[in-house]
Amino acid sequence: MMSSAHAACDLAQARAVKQQVVTQARPWLALLTTILASSLAFVDGSVVNVGLPAIGRDMHGGPADLQWVVNAYLLPLSALLLLGGALGDRFGRQRLLVGGTVLFALSSVACALAPTLPWLLAARGLQGVGAALLMPNSLAILGGAFSGEARGRAIGVWASAGSITGAAGPVLGGALIDGVGWRSIFLLNIPLAAAAIWLAHRFIANGPRPSTSAPLDLAGAGLATLALGGLTWGLTLGAGRAGWSTLAMALVAAGSLLFLAFLWLEDRLGDRAMMPLVLFGSRSFIGLSLMTLLLYGALGGLLVLLPYLLIEAAGYSATRAGAALLPFPLILTVLSPVMGGVAGRFGPRWPLTIGPMIVAAGFLLMLRIEAASSYWTTTLPAMLVISLGMACATAPLTTAVLTSVDAPHTGFAAGLNSALARAGGLIATALLGAVLIGRGATLVEGFHGAASVGALACAIAGLCALLLIPGVKASPTGS
């Protein structure tokens, strides 16, 4: 489910590419390569949430352990996504795509074979690093392999494939969990990775190296990773059973200080930074960034909690819990192109304001879900409303990001927006400990509290769009 939302959010990265990527054969084979490579991250992200209860039982993991099964992956992906794109520009996008895919495949095998929880978490972290390398370079290859109308069609096919993956992943993963065991879900990645690697070697060239290269912002990437790690660890401890201990507060403080150090360094580096702070000179980009962080954070927390609640409190099988998420990718696939056209004609401000408000209403409908309630009268209506709201927001967000900054910075803006979407899910998951420790009625009550907070976050996201995004007609994003 979340994979479909991320696919729409990531579209800006493909559209922001200016340089043509040299292909050795028909460009549609480059499209197939990018679809297979991106599907690795999309499948993994959607399937693991359905598998959390089974992983917890088999590995004897507590709530904090389950949070880290998700966040060990999201942490390096959020922190290193921009660096992954810069490495592709420096050393060749094909090389980084292949290297990231190989790392993702090997770490997936390590996840499937992990003898203990620490080994699983380490392998999940490596998966996140692999995804941070393959995702931006996959999107850059996609954007550079086509031009004109063909580019728009190719990006549409890629987005549709992401939605199909989002629909099939949880259901297929749930069936594997029920029939074979949770370890098998990580082996889904192997055939996809093998096909992507072969196609990349056969049909995609690296293209010319840049004549001059600015130093890579390795220090910025390191500080971002440490800052997010400290904040995530501290929030996980603080929201868990032990509460806000001295260690939890110290970790949050350390993470905050490291984040300030990261901002200081990025300011010093200017346009050589991994995250140029000049981006935030645009009021519109500030609004889009806040909206993305809040909206995708609320959605990421929901997608961890909802399958967990349905399995643990309502007695769903993993297959049935995965199928419960199907309305989201299906509705997003149908309605997102329509809303993209609306945003292109009238500007993104109102769709980006109304969409999160509709999502907030869907979160409030989640308050009707109880352990014994019917899926058709409680969960499904809420899912339909949330899906409608996200469809209103995702395509206009792509347009708005590309028009919020000047042309030289569109690639940075698109990459940062994509990273913020993952960081929102990272932070939200870190705050779920108080809910995950519950059982039965306590778990349902905690879920209702989390849904209320999610509704508030989505409403604030809509206000950010209303107050900070100018109400002007969007300019077309050409190819």
Tokens, residue 419:
């990273």
For residue 192, tell me if it sits in a domain: yes
**Distance between CA atoms of residues 294 and 458, nearest Å:** 6
Note whether 197 and 323 are same-domain residues.
yes
| Amino acid occupying residue 413 | A
Q: Is there a contact between 128 and 74 (Cβ–Cβ < 8 Å)?
A: yes
Say what the pLDDT of residue 2 is. Answer: 59
> Residue 271 belongs to what domain range?
218-275
- Statement to judge: residues 140 and 42 lie in one domain: yes
Say what the pTM is: 0.91
Is the same domain home to 233 and 288?
no
Instruction: Please give the pLDDT value at position 474.
Output: 45
| Pick from 87, 94, 77, 92: nearest CA to 30 | 94
Asked if residue 142 belongs to a domain, the reply is yes
pLDDT for residue 406: 82
State the alpha helices, DSSP H only, in 60-115.
63-91, 93-113
Q: Which DSSP symbol is given to 431?
A: T
The answer to whether 43 and 191 are in contact (CB under 8 A) is: no
| Residues 159 and 304 placed together within one structural domain of the fold | yes
Q: What is the pLDDT of residue 210?
A: 55
Residue of 158, 186, 154 whose CA lies nearest to 172: 186
pLDDT mean for each 10 residues of the chain (479 residues) = 65 66 65 89 83 93 90 93 87 91 97 96 96 90 77 77 79 91 93 93 72 76 94 92 90 96 93 88 92 95 94 93 89 80 78 95 97 94 95 85 81 87 93 90 95 97 92 47
271 and 333 both lie in a single domain = no
Which pLDDT score is estimated for 267?
92
What pLDDT does 164 receive?
Answer: 79
HEC letters along 246-315? HHHHHHHHHHHHHHHHHHHHHHHHHHHCCCCHHHHHCHHHHHHHHHHHHHHHHHHHHHHHHHHHHHHCCC
* Furthest CA-CA distance within the chain: 64
What's the rounded Cα separation, in Å, for the pair 73 and 187?
A: 16
Do 139 and 263 lie in one domain? The reply is: no
Give the pLDDT of residue 16: 72
pLDDT at 478: 40
Give residue 104's pLDDT. Answer: 97
151, 17 Cβ separation under 8 angstroms: no
Model pLDDT, residue 475: 45
